Chains A and B, each alone.
Chain A
Amino acid sequence: MDLSTTSLHDFTVVTNECVADGIWRMRLSSTVAPLIEPGQFVNIAVPGDGSHILRIPLSFKRADAEAGTLELLYATVGEGTRRLSAMREGDKSTLVGPCGNGWRLPQEPGRALLVAGGIGLPPILAAARMLASERVGFDVVIGARTYAMHVLPDAEEVLGYGQADGAEYDPDRRVILTTDDGTTASGELGRKAYATDGMSDLMAERAYSQVYTCGPTIMMASVAHMAAEHGIACQASLERMMGCGFGACSCCNVELVRGGYALCCQDGPVFDATEVVW
């Protein structure tokens, strides 16, 4: 039995800015940065309110081991994330990490399809960076409720992942943005589409050997179903209300097809989509 390597780390806020409607990007400096793998997460203590005691589990977009920084994207959905958005440069707190098991590289050669919905974006960006570092070709679909909630700089950045050295690698990468309400960059009303519609379009054009997804459960359930129909392996990063974040309290259960429950924090958050009861 391996002992846990999850531990407590101090962090300092480097930047914290609103990057889309209700979406914030925080860069923090922490000793967890060189230890964490794509798809793992951290459980953050947000100071300022003793009446709310639980930490906030957050996935990350990028870990820079050399700079010792971690870049998060988060939505201000509750009281805790609103307090998080009030943290300023130089503010300090603690985080628990690295938590959970991250993304795995594809078992089969071939192209990967990444499908993000809403604030499921950051771990998908981390997966994209991981694939780029292994020179695996991939395309990305990012869904949002409305255009103002798309984190445009981060979505555009994906096209450049792995391309910096100018070598010929994945030149035809596609990044498709969809909006539930049909709003577009131009302000004209366009196609009302879910991320799964973008996924269908890409699957009609290209062959994939692996799907990575993170987003609302209803979206991931559809993604998992579509991947299974096409016989494509699918990894899904799940979200649950969490207590400890490292397997001590058994609160974040995920129902399994084979019966019983796994713990999202300890056994996930990345699961083989065929093992999960959607």
Chain B
Amino acid sequence: MSTVSMAVDLGGIKMRNPLNTASGTFGNGWQFEGFYDVGATLGAITCKGLAAEPWAGNPAPRLAELRGAAIMNSVGLQNPGVRGFVETYGEYLQGLRDKGCQVICQVAGHSVEEYVRATELYEELAPFASGFEINISCPNIAKGGAAMGATPEGAAEVMRAVRDRTERPILVKMAPHDVAEIGRALESAGADALSLINTIPGMTIDVHTRKSRLSRPTAGVSGPAIHAIAVRMVWECAQAVAIPLCGIGGVATGEDAAEMILAGATAVSIGTANMVDPSCAPRILAELEDWAESQGVNDINELIGAFEC
């Protein structure tokens, strides 16, 4: 057992440790119960993005593997809508809360109105939600998603509209560009914390057919290959805002998580690694605790942003 206090506060979401999961890579938690006790292990989980109404998601193929420790996905936020989600998983997710694991519910939409509607539905139906993550950075949907978060003005407009609808903490999932400028706009608009980065838009072409290997021309790159880019963006954003950050991007080891924390992240999400090694979270947590202890601190918070340049 670690002697270092691992508890962190992600914009009002009190986590027993900094480990969170990246939305879309962790189902809604229950899929991992055969691998470890989710509620007893993680600081928080972030559920799959949900809209007010169900979305079918993109056609197949949605996944390609790249050389160089990366994958590309084009899922397009397939989801059963907030109501279907709460009916199916609400009891399980309340159980996670009861075990001390926070449950962050992700909000998706094609327009400001749709983000607002989904948030209102969560407010009405999801008492287990510890807070919300507004996804304005999905690269795989035609309307909304990344388009909403492409500019500081667009991002802030969504944030302000949702802010009026809930007292619970709001995180915003950011696209991998202009994170300092957009981060400042989101902070001013009332965000409690920021999650970054979403997948990086990329292309993969089957040269024999001259077509995309996925159902859309571009899709999101994730995995260990993007880790260094994510750490840099967390560092840039941390210097621009005062609100806490959740670092996401290619985290597969305790050392990767430690880099995020040193760069300025309060919490760290595991994404693609959940698909590759579904039992990785307890190992990453143990490695992170060992590292914190090796740094001679009593509290992990002393290491947030402790990068020395």
Contact = CB atoms under 8 A, between A and B. Distances in A.
Interface of A: 1, 3-8, 45, 50-55, 96, 240-244, 246-255, 259-261, 266
Main secondary structure of the interface of B (DSSP, over half): loop
B284 to A, nearest CB: 14
B60 A240 contact: yes
Interface stretch (B3-11, B61-69, B120-128, B185-193): B61-69
Given A1-B92, A248-B31, A250-B78, A8 B279 contact: yes
B86 to A, nearest CB: 12
Contacts of B25: 244, 248-249
A267 to B, nearest CB: 12
Given A8-B35, A241-B61, 17 more contacts: A1-B30, A1-B89, A4-B34, A53-B65, A53-B272, A241-B62, A247-B27, A248-B25, A248-B274, A249-B25, A249-B274, A249-B275, A252-B60, A252-B62, A253-B58, A253-B60, A253-B75
B99 to A, nearest CB: 13
B48 interface: yes
A248 B21 CA distance: 11
Contacts of A243: 63, 71, 73, 275
Contacts, number: 118
Contact of B91 (A1, A4, A246, A259): A1
27 contacts: A3-B33, A3-B34, A3-B92, A4-B31, A6-B34, A8-B279, A51-B67, A51-B68, A52-B65, A53-B71, A54-B275, A244-B31, A244-B278, A247-B31, A248-B27, A248-B31, A248-B278, A249-B24, A249-B25, A250-B57, A250-B62, A250-B75, A252-B62, A253-B58, A253-B78, A255-B60, A261-B78
Contact of A1 (B48, B58, B88): B88
Contact of B75 (A1, A50, A51, A249): A249
A260 B78 CA distance: 9
A8 B32 CA distance: 10
Nearest to B274: A248
Given A3-B30, A243-B275, A51 B35 contact: no
Contact of A250 (B48, B67, B70, B223): B48
Q: Give the 3 A-B residue pairs with the shortest CB-CB distance, closest first.
A: A251-B63, A7-B34, A248-B27
B26 interface: yes
B131 to A, nearest CB: 21
Nearest to A242: B63
B56 interface: yes
A266 B89 CA distance: 16
Nearest to B26: A248
B145 interface: no
Contacts of B275: 54, 243-244, 248-249
Interface residues of B, number: 43
A241 B214 CA distance: 11
B108 to A, nearest CB: 13
Interface string B12-41: 000000000000111100111111000000
Given A3-B30, A243-B71, A259 B278 contact: no
A248 B32 contact: yes
A55 to B, nearest CB: 7
A261 B57 CA distance: 8
Contact of B69 (A5, A50, A240, A266): A50
Interface string B275-290: 1111100000000000
Contacts of B69: 50-53
A72 B67 CA distance: 26
Given A1-B89, A252-B63, A53 B276 contact: yes
A154 B65 CA distance: 32
Contacts of A248: 25-27, 31-32, 274-275, 278
Nearest to B48: A250
A253 B62 contact: yes
Nearest to A54: B65
Interface in B51-99: 54, 56-65, 67-71, 73, 75, 78, 88-89, 91-92
Contact of B57 (A50, A246, A253): A253
Nearest to B88: A1
A213 B299 CA distance: 58
Contacts of B71: 53-54, 243
